[in-house]
């Protein structure tokens, strides 16, 4: 009987040791760095994508751009070179989803205020209304930090083209009018190679938390 208990004790020690090793392996496997997807036009609902690129499966990047920000400064892709950034589309007179989106963008700004790798970019879909002066008033009201966050206006055709062919984020309003846009609640996460790495509901607090977590993941990429 004593021999049995000794053998059982040895078995328990060996089994316990093996269990610890297996648990550690499983834990490490589940916590291995998982890169974010690189979004292509084929991965996004067709209503948000220009028909000319709907079948593109690779090599998609944000195109060159040139707009004017809330300070009257010309903003181009060079201002975002080697930066991770969050982009969206809005208009200052919107009274539905835009205020929520802008407040959430301000929340992101607060989280990344001292992070030199991350910036924000908001494009007006009503540039005929959103002049530089209007954007400046809106920026002051919403607490925009000029060093971190650009609100931009410009040629409506160019904004429309960028929204549909680069960011894959704006709907055509369907009435046949040239370059008329219906913006969505989407926030887009763009990496340092100008690739789309995530889409998020800018009105949803849980998605904002997910976006912030994904920025941290993206920063691990070399």
| Ligand-binding site membership of 183 (annotated) | yes
Q: Any binding-site annotation on 55? A: no
Place of tokens 């969050």: 86
Which of 180, 174, 219 has the alpha carbon at shortest distance from 197?
A: 219
Name the phi and psi angles at 19, rounded to 5: -60, -40
Integer Cα distance of 132 and 143 in angstroms: 16
In the three-class reduction of DSSP (H, G, I as helix; E, B as strand; rest coil), residue 57 is classed as coil
**Is 60 one of the annotated binding-site residues?**
no
Close Cβ partners of 119 (under 8 Å, ≥ 6 residues apart)? 79, 80, 83, 84, 85, 86, 112, 148, 149, 150
Known binding positions for Cu cation: 94, 98, 183
């Amino acid at each position: 009987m004593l021999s049995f208990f000794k053998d059982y004790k040895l078995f328990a020690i060996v089994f316990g040791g093996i269990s610890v090793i297996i648990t550690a392996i499983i834990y490490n496997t589940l916590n291995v760095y998982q890169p974010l997807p690189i979004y292509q036009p084929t991965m996004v609902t067709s209503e948000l994508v220009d028909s000319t690129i709907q079948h593109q499966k690779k090599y998609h990047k944000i195109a060159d751009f040139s707009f004017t920000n809330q300070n009257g400064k010309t903003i181009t892709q060079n201002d975002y070179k080697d930066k991770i950034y969050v982009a969206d589309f809005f208009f200052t007179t919107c009274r539905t989803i835009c205020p929520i989106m802008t407040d959430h963008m301000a929340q992101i700004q607060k989280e990344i205020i001292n992070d030199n790798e991350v910036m924000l970019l908001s494009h007006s879909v009503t540039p005929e209304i959103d002049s530089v002066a209007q954007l400046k008033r809106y920026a002051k009201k919403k607490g925009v930090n000029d060093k971190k966050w650009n609100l931009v206006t410009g040629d409506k055709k160019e904004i429309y083209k960028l929204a549909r062919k680069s960011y894959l984020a704006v709907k055509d309003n369907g009435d046949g009018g040239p370059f008329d846009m219906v913006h969505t609640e989407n926030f887009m996460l763009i990496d340092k190679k100008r690739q789309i790495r995530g889409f998020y509901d800018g009105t949803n607090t849980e998605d904002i938390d997910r976006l912030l977590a994904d920025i941290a993941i993206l920063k691990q990429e070399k």
